[in-house]
Structure 1
Amino acid sequence: MNALPLELHAQIFEFACTDDGTTARSLSLVSRYVRDVSEPYRYQSLSISGLEQMNELVTRLNVTPHHLRRIRHLFLSDWAHAQVKERVVPCSDDDLDRYELEKTAALRIITLAAPTVETLVVVSSCPYTGPSLLGALFSTPMPRLAELSVHGFYPFPQVPRSMPRLERLHLSGHRNPHGLLQLGALDAACPSLVHLRISGLVAASSFAEELRSAVLSQADDPSLQSSAFRPSLPARLQTVAVEARAPPSRKGGAPRGLRLMHDKMLASLWELEGRSDSSCSPAVSVLEMEDERDMYSLLKSGWSDRLATREALC
């Protein structure tokens, strides 16, 4: 240990602190020297869930100098996993006050992380504060962000160049995000986007048609030439992955009208997928999911896996 220069120790600690924050916390307890050398990487990679963890982190970050709170990789959930899995959302006055506190803490963390964050997952499970939280997220400039995954009832990114380096975007939690591709808003907000993934679609026939209009060229579909508001995709986009979830069923199965709309959506999406072998760009892939999935766990594990891959390639 003593034979290695400080610069090499710092580089080792930087590569080591790429998990959920456990390694950085452990290093701070080894010795005073290790704590001091690893301090710039203490908040480099974090997994934060629920009000208690969010408040603790905000308290620490508020008294930490800017150069020591460089958050590069962040998984953030307004609710802890156990709360996410609950089927009933309490709505007493005390509960509503707590939800506002959760949103405030989450927004503070997002604001502090925004200048340096590179990979970000935000799970917004509260139906009362989720849309405004995610709306604020999409309005926050993040100049270094390369990968973003969002789960919740999200509004659409539209602030020009708010995420100029974003290459991978995963949107989950909106059954029918009709309007996402209108007026070039997605291209304006994320001009470097290469991979787009949209999960949880149910009976979203209007969005499927919107995606079809955006993907197919005017030469392929002359009827689109006269539309001044034709949906469009980011210019650099190469792939669109769409995940459809089976409609919610009651005792006798899904309502007939809902089932018909879902089938119409799938037909449009499969048509686009079938064109992916031709000159159609970007390539569209479609995946059907039978059951509702635990998106908290899936996004967290995916974030960890992607982070390990990114660091291995560095």
Structure 2
Amino acid sequence: MHNSTIVHCIPLEIWEIIFGNACTDSGYTGHSLSQVSHLFRAASEAVKYQSMVLQGPDHLVAFASIISRTPAHLRRVRHLYMTDEPRPKSRNTNRFLPIRSVAHKPRETDTTKLEKVMGDAVWMILEGVSFSIEILRVDFSWNIYDHDKAIFPSCPRLGSLTSDGQLLSQNQSKRTILDKHTPLFPQLRRWHLTTQPKQQFEGQFFSCLPDTAPNLTHLRVPGTWKPTKFLYDLRIALGMADQRSQPGQEPITALPSNVKRVYVKPSVKPQTLAWGGGPSPYSYLIAVLRKMNDHGDGRFVLLPSYQDNEEARRPTVTEWIESIRDEEVVWGLRSRVEPKLPSSRSILQMPIVGRIL
């Protein structure tokens, strides 16, 4: 029997399942399959966009245009990574997007305009794929929430999210009272914050979790190089420190019982170590984190510090694709700092109050 005959003997539904398992990369496989034949184009139509990596303004704008023209039943994007960092030139550069450069050597005065163009694209994409998205990473070097359309849509199927700490604070201020009674991420299990929430919102972060992500089980908060108010709020939320009574400040809400793990990975050790003759802020941070780790609360997990800036950089496309299949790749959950019994008297016993910088 001729190969083409065999291909046509296989039901279209079977091809859709096969292609659905194959299209888990940056989007290249889905595009390639659609170019093989009319049969493959039809079979891959519903899954060719299910895994996408959009790097830089050109990709974002191009895909936003595709989304705006694609019927809702074919906008089944399940895995999405968006960043303003352009993809390095290579033979694998996405050729499946009808790219027209919007950012060729922008002048300093063009920065605001470029961010506006990218912001339009980002929010159009998020709105268009919100009903199907399951794994999402949003990674930008500027505030994408400072945009007139910046209201994060409800994502009913989202299970894993990587975002900066501003998402919740910016969104809460723009959502209506009715919206706030509808969970933004009802199925979210894992949330990785790459930056801390805005300082004026830090105390409210934990109180917003039940209404935002009622089924959250794993939370990873960003490591820093010094103790912060957010870290102290986390200690209170975990029951490791007492509430602080300050006029006009609401008490910190306890961490919801459904959150089983909270991960912290400290940043790279700064070059400057001296700090007024006493412990450096970084040394004090590590001491505080170790004290939390040794507290005996199994919910808190201290991960090893980043060893260098290369390790702390954004994930490559390959690393992100691997994380779709195994989230431990990006969360670093295979290694942790094992808890130890606290020493009798050391820097660990120093109160954190007043040392937050």
Shorter-chain-normalised TM-score: which range?
Answer: 0.7 to 0.9
Structure 2 residue 219 is matched with structure 1 residue 203: no
* Map of 2:163 onto structure 1: 150
- Taking structure 1 as the reference length, the TM-score comes to 0.80
Q: What is the Cα deviation at residue 295 of structure 1?
A: 5.6
TM-aligned CA distance change 1:290 to 1:179, over 3 Å = farther
Of the structure 1 ranges 192-201 and 140-149, higher mean CA displacement relative to structure 2 is found in 192-201
Structure 2 residue 301 is matched with structure 1 residue 284: yes
TM-aligned CA distance change 1:48 to 1:95, over 3 Å = same
AA of the residue aligned to 1:119: I
Structure with the largest fraction of helix: 1
Q: Which of 123, 130, 136 matches 1:120?
A: 136
Q: What is the Cα deviation at residue 7 of structure 1?
A: 1.4
**Where does 1:157-236 land on structure 2 (aligned, <5 Å)?**
159=172, 160=180, 161-174=183-196, 179-180=201-202, 182=204, 184-216=207-239, 223-224=242-243, 229-236=251-258
Q: Distance in 2 between matches of 1:149 and 1:171?
A: 6
**SS of the residue 2:80 aligns to:** strand
Q: Distance in 2 between matches of 1:274 and 1:265?
A: 14
Q: Which of 287, 292, 295 matches 1:267?
A: 287
Structure 2 residue 325 is matched with structure 1 residue 308: yes
Structure 2 residue 71 is matched with structure 1 residue 48: no
Q: What is the Cα deviation at residue 178 of structure 1?
A: 8.0
Runs of 5+ unmatched residues, structure 2: 1-6, 90-104, 173-179, 328-357
AA of the residue aligned to 1:132: D
- Root-mean-square deviation (Å): 3.2
* Map of 1:11 onto structure 2: 17
Q: Distance in 1 between matches of 2:28 and 2:163?
A: 23
* Map of 2:125 onto structure 1: 109
Q: Name which structure has the greater RCO, CA cutoff 8 Å, separation 6+.
A: 1
In the alignment of these two chains, the number of paired residues is: 290
Q: What is the Cα deviation at residue 266 of structure 1?
A: 2.3
TM-aligned CA distance change 1:90 to 1:40, over 3 Å = closer
**Greater Cα radius of gyration, structure 1 or 2:** 2
Structure 2 residue 22 is matched with structure 1 residue 22: no
Aligned residues of 2:166 and 2:197 also touching (Cα < 8 A)? no
Aligned residues of 1:123 and 1:296 also touching (Cα < 8 A)? no
- Taking structure 2 as the reference length, the TM-score comes to 0.71
**SS of the residue 1:201 aligns to:** coil
Deviations for 1:9-43, whole angstroms, at most 9, x for unmatched residues? 11111111111111100011000111011101121
Q: What is the Cα deviation at residue 297 of structure 1?
A: 4.2
Structure with the largest fraction of strand: 1
Runs of 5+ unmatched residues, structure 1: 84-88
* Map of 1:60 onto structure 2: 66
**Alignment identity in percent?**
26
AA of the residue aligned to 1:123: D
Q: Distance in 2 between matches of 1:37 and 1:200?
A: 44
AA of the residue aligned to 2:54: I
Q: What is the Cα deviation at residue 248 of structure 1?
A: 4.5
Deviations for 1:169-212, whole angstroms, at most 9, x for unmatched residues? 11113498685463611232111111111234121332222111
Q: What is the Cα deviation at residue 308 of structure 1?
A: 2.5
**SS of the residue 1:234 aligns to:** coil
Q: What is the Cα deviation at residue 82 of structure 1?
A: 5.5
**SS of the residue 1:79 aligns to:** coil
TM-aligned CA distance change 1:299 to 1:214, over 3 Å = farther
Aligned residues of 2:166 and 2:198 also touching (Cα < 8 A)? no
Q: Distance in 1 between matches of 2:127 and 2:88?
A: 26
Q: Distance in 1 between matches of 2:265 and 2:167?
A: 18
